[in-house]
Amino acid sequence: MNGEILRRFDTITPGARRVLYAYAVAASVLLLGAVLNPGFASWTSLRAVLVVAAFTGFVAAGQMLVVLVGGIDLSIPWVLNGAAIVLTTTSLGQSVRLPYALALALGVGALAGFANGMGVAWLGVPAVVMTLGMNGVLQGLSLGLSKGLTCASCGSYAPQPLRDLFVGGVAGVPAALLVWIGVALLMTVLLTLTTFGRRVYAVGVNSRAAFLSGVGVRGVTVALYTLSGVFAALAGIMLVGYGGQPSLGLGDPYLFESIAAVVVGGVSILGGRGHYLGVVAGSLTLVAVTTFLQAQRVPEYGRLMIYGLVILVILFAYGRDKSHD
């Protein structure tokens, strides 16, 4: 019986195995938390972890897409923050304006992502430089145009329907969670069942070989960066729906957290390998660790150190490069 399971395990592809590892880590973190602090396993606490993990999950979805082709998106913090500011300043808290404001905020994200993609794919600017520059550009524009978030319309809140949705939820289930399930389905279908998905992995494994076999490498790259911008904007919209008002620096924690979630989720940082289901587990793991440490009243310095150590341990477990020898 046991041998049967082991044999089955051997037949799973390495990609699926990494996803399993990611879930095993997430499960053990949650379990450990529940053992050490009984309150941690309560539905209210789990629900809070899931909602917070959803925000990391949205951002990590975009980050994962560009990491799959060996890129990186450092513009996430201010795409997110910019979209959040656009949403409240154009909607002015009025429900009628919500559809336009939503379209505009997502449009800002798509435009920033598109520009990133064009810079990387057509102008040959390294991804780190292009997205770092874009982050600065958006930070300057957000700060400058909103006069450091002191403009007349900057005090407005997100429209009530959006806030009801994200604070209240739909039939008791938090809306952020429902959107996350939708995003997870979309990402999984897009990457595993469509030709676009096959192309993404082909470019990630070897872009030259993909190009020679007729994949429009540049088009794929631009599409992925655009999607990353849209996901970051989506996260900004939901954060503002959840919190009511944007703040400056809202997106800053998500830069490194998105990269960590992607890698803890078993996606190779070199590109070409990984599934979004793993990234879901990665986001859960990271948020569960932080939430647990906060619940235990571990001071900030301790949280930072343990967070770093946990990432290192996970990397040692399944994030190592192949040996040269």
24-31: list long-range contacts, CB under 8 Å, 24+ apart. 25/264, 25/281, 25/285, 25/314, 25/317, 26/281, 26/282, 26/284, 26/285, 26/288, 29/285, 29/288, 29/289, 29/292, 29/310, 30/284, 30/288
141 is an interface residue for another protein by CB under 8 A: yes
Q: Which is nearer to another protein, 143 or 190 (CB)?
A: 143
Q: Residue 86 Cβ, how far from another protein at the closest point, in Å?
A: 16
Q: Which of residues 81-140 bind another protein (CB under 8 A)?
A: 119, 123-126, 128-130, 132-140
Q: Give the contacts of 194 (CB within 8 A, at least 6 positions apart).
A: none
Which tokens hold the place of 203?
A: 């470019």
Nearest CA to 75 out of 243, 207, 258 is that of 258
Q: Give the contacts of 44 (CB within 8 A, at least 6 positions apart).
A: none
Matching residue, tokens 């559809």: 99
**Contact code string over 145-164 relative to another protein, x by CB under 8 A:** --xx----------------
Q: Residue 63 Cβ, how far from another protein at the closest point, in Å?
A: 12
Q: Which of residues 282-311 bind another protein (CB under 8 A)?
A: 300-309, 311
Q: Residue 256 Cβ, how far from another protein at the closest point, in Å?
A: 6
How many angstroms separate the CA atoms of 25 and 21, rounded? 6
Q: Which is nearer to another protein, 90 or 258 (CB)?
A: 258
How many angstroms separate the CA atoms of 31 and 33, rounded? 5
Q: Which of residues 65-84 bind another protein (CB under 8 A)?
A: 72, 74
Q: Which is nearer to another protein, 43 or 301 (CB)?
A: 301
322 is an interface residue for another protein by CB under 8 A: yes
249 is an interface residue for another protein by CB under 8 A: no
Q: Do the beta carbons of residue 263 and residue 312 sit within 8 Å? A: no
How many angstroms separate the CA atoms of 24 and 44, rounded? 22
Q: Which is nearer to another protein, 118 or 190 (CB)?
A: 118
Q: Which is nearer to another protein, 99 or 136 (CB)?
A: 136
Q: Do the beta carbons of residue 275 and residue 204 sit within 8 Å? A: no
**Contact code string over 163-182 relative to another protein, x by CB under 8 A:** --------------------
Which residues here bind another protein, judged by CB under 8 A?
A: 72, 74, 119, 123-126, 128-130, 132-141, 143-144, 147-148, 256, 259-260, 263, 269-270, 300-309, 311-312, 315-316, 319-324
